Chains A and B, each alone.
Chain A
Amino acid sequence: MRRLVYLLPLLLFAALAGYFAFALISGRDPRELPSALLDKPAPAFDLPGLGGERLSAATLRGEVFVLNFFASWCAPCRVEHPLLLRLARQEGVRLVGIAYKDRPEDSRRFLAELGDPYRAIGIDRDGRVAIDFGLYGVPETYVIDRQGHIRKRFVGPLSPGQVERELLPLLRGLARL
């Protein structure tokens, strides 16, 4: 019986190692979250806009765009922000922002401070649209095609690698269709 106690650390480690091996072999990217809405129509929304005009899914239909949920209170959004600016200014990506559970004046200050990469911004004060999208947290980014279908979801701050390897090739592909 007492021997078993001394065996315990080894057994626990074996379980941990088995799990590590599984995580490694499954090769899944821990940052990847499949969206339940993948290749399905994006939820409809109609939000007051930060610039004054309302932002609705209907008016965005017909063009490929990247929908980015952000908030001024979210630290990873600050990390991601320079990349969004680059996407908008250098790559000409059509970025649409949704300010998630954020006061409009805070969103404005956030953008004034860091720069504004968005063509249009909707204000989702109560987070209802976020619930429709199944948002895990901010930032979260969706690629939406001409038909208004969700083609890709990025959870957490975008990384330069994701942008180069996944986001930009996908956008180029969608633009060609």
Chain B
Amino acid sequence: MFIELGHFALALALFLALIQSVVPLAGAARRLAGWMAVGRSAALGQFALVAVAFAALTHAYVTSDFSVANVAANSHSAKPMLYKISGVWGNHEGSMLLWVLILALCGAAVALFGSNLPRELRARVLAVQGMVGAGFLLFILATSNPFLRLVPAPADGQGLNPLLQDPGLAFHPPFLYLGYVGSSVAFAFAVAALIEGRVDAAWARWVRPWALLSWCGLTVGIALGSWWAYYTLGWGGWWFWDPVENASLLPWLSGTALIHSAIVVERRDTLKSWTILLAILTFSLALVGTFLVRSGVLSSVHAFAVDPSRGSFILGLLLLAIGGALALYAVRAPALQGGGLFAPISREGALVLNNLLMATATVTVLLGTLYPLFMDAVGGAKISVGPPFFNQTFVPLMVPALVAMAVGPLLAWKRGDLAAALQRLWVAFAAAAVVVLVGLYLAGFKPVLAVLGLGLAAWVAAGVLSEWAERVRLFRLPLGESWRRARGLPRASYGMSLAHFGVAVMVAGVAASAFEQERIENLRPGEHIAIAGYELRLREVRTVPGPNFIADEAVMEVRRGGVVLDEMLPQRRMFTVQQQTTALTAIRSGLAADLYLALGEGDAATGWTVRAYHKPLVSWIWLGALVMALGGVVSLTDRRWRLGVAARRPAAVPAAAE
């Protein structure tokens, strides 16, 4: 009953989305207030209906209603409740429904909180949102219906892939989709601006929070995915340059460029057509990623169940959305000329440098991801592009970005003074030099690049702190006065500092991975592994029952200098329904290093294989990503986004004086 209701609600939502994509657009063209207002109600209605559909599917999962094909294929009655719920989006159909739900949520948010937008712009943005929504709703209803019934209903479900039964992964897709879909709002703003034929500082101010929100979602989503890979796959890797990972990294890179170039539009009223292009590109890359993952064109460890009809449908959506937007861009963007040339050594110059590097990185990763496919298509050799390619191209692009990252915020708008900025960075120079020298002294010259990477992290971190100290005139004014200034700094400024500091933390974590140690040994009870000054003694291996698995659990004592510090319990879980084993690693996580244990196969007679890793600073990678996202959130709370936006210049002609 609920299921049919959900199906019906989804069909109605499609109907509303179609209205939303046509009526407000026509209303904006003819300046009919009533027609434009339709967009608002339609967006709210669409969200309510999609929410009903999503609730219906969730209900079926929670109550284990195996008469629903989707539930039967992906759930099981003996699964913990958390994974019954996360199972809703642990499959193709359900994840598309979550996609559309977040899309409708963003549409509703524009409708609700966009009252300070000019009527026409809001109507057009909602119309574009409606078109995207209609496309995806049609896709779900036509090719990926999660509400299909099974007759007769099976007694129990096939269960969710055990690797996916994990708290990290339960929240990975929602954040990622928030990122993808958030970029659809920036896209809608870009297309609406192209239709209107005007982009100004106010426009940038409306777009930037959405681009930021999307960027935060992607940052957290990617970090969660990487963290999950780290602790479940059992050998401690955290990034594989897998096509699907790249698909999420691509919109992140262009989104990073977008949030920086939008600042230039807002402050200097220039770089407009480029910013519009980035907004279109970011969402396009999210769509291309969706296409690659779900069409079967690309092979990957993540690939969803493949169905060619889905592939052609998404390709059609791509053509309409991206092709349409880019065609509009080709026609309208030449008229958006504004601003003018500016000095390369200036704040905006630094932001453009960021854009150049991020855009180049985007193209590089895109090429690396698609090149093997392309070679195959033209009948060339089958090749694979692996981590070495990305490490050799991506890293050299990020190094100048990091070097400039400390300098850029210290440059003034319009005309900066590089020498003065560098002078203020003497602390950063010193910090980087100390870290490099100490690193070389401790580690020798072996992983010299890793030591330089740590130095770069210190440079960025100290650079961020110097910039903050500069702003509050620390030690140059009385402390009380500095404190007053620190409190008076806008949230957006703290957001930037936090985000940049997060980058430094992450770079340190990545660089330190060169110092990890690995020991793989076969242990009987009483024997031990020695790693990085720790002694890991296997006391026993016991059998532990779980809700839907049986596990071998090793009890490992962690000793250092003869003192027992801790007990670690790595497990090997045998999932009975799927006949699949997964490793539950035991990680003793710390700021300085992680001690990482995975239990392999074995028995009492021959002993058990135990893999132990010592990974310095590895948790900094995800900590850094979280700090970055936190910076984005802090920036989002800036009162600038809520006030002063309505002051839009009356003339459509951009200021030519600049």
Contacts and interface: CB of A to CB of B under 8 A. Distances in A.
B295 interface: yes
B531 interface: no
B165 interface: no
A16 B284 CA distance: 12
B298 A10 contact: no
Interface of B: 234-235, 237, 273, 277, 280-281, 284, 288, 291, 295-299, 301, 308, 311-312, 315, 318-319, 322-323, 326-327, 329-330, 333-334, 370, 373-374, 376-377, 382, 384, 520, 522, 579-581, 600-602, 606, 609
Contacts of A21: 315
Contact of A24 (B237, B288, B315, B322): B315
Give the secondary structure class of B's interface.
helix
A112 B333 contact: no
22 contacts: A3-B330, A6-B329, A9-B277, A9-B281, A10-B323, A13-B322, A17-B319, A19-B374, A21-B315, A24-B297, A24-B311, A24-B315, A30-B373, A75-B237, A78-B235, A109-B522, A112-B602, A113-B520, A113-B600, A114-B601, A115-B601, A136-B384
A20 B581 contact: no
Interface in A1-26: 2-3, 6-7, 9-10, 13-14, 16-17, 19-24, 26
B609 A17 contact: no
Contacts of B333: 6
Contacts of B315: 17, 20-21, 24
Nearest to A86: B579
B602 A6 contact: no
A31 interface: yes
A31 B297 CA distance: 10
Contact of A6 (B334, B374, B376): B334
B297 A112 contact: no
A24 B334 contact: no
B373 A10 contact: no
Nearest to A137: B384
Contacts of B291: 20
Interface in A108-155: 109, 112-115, 136-137, 155
A109 B522 CA distance: 8
A43 interface: no
Nearest to B319: A17
B581 A82 contact: yes
A77 B277 CA distance: 42
Contacts of B602: 112-113
B330 A7 contact: yes
Contacts of B322: 13, 17
A10 B327 contact: yes
Contacts of B288: 16
A104 to B, nearest CB: 15
A173 interface: no
Chain A to chain B: the 8 pairs with minimum beta-carbon distance, closest first: A113-B600, A113-B609, A10-B326, A7-B330, A31-B299, A23-B297, A30-B299, A6-B333
Contact of A10 (B330, B384, B520): B330
A112 B606 contact: yes
Contacts of A30: 296-299, 373, 376
Q: Which of A13, A155, A156 has the most CB of B within 10 A?
A: A13
A112 B601 contact: yes
A21 B313 CA distance: 11
A115 to B, nearest CB: 5
A170 interface: no
A2 B377 contact: no
B318 A17 contact: yes
Q: Which of A3, A20, A26, A82 has the most CB of B within 10 A?
A: A20
A79 interface: yes
Given A2-B334, A156-B299, A20 B600 contact: no
A138 to B, nearest CB: 12
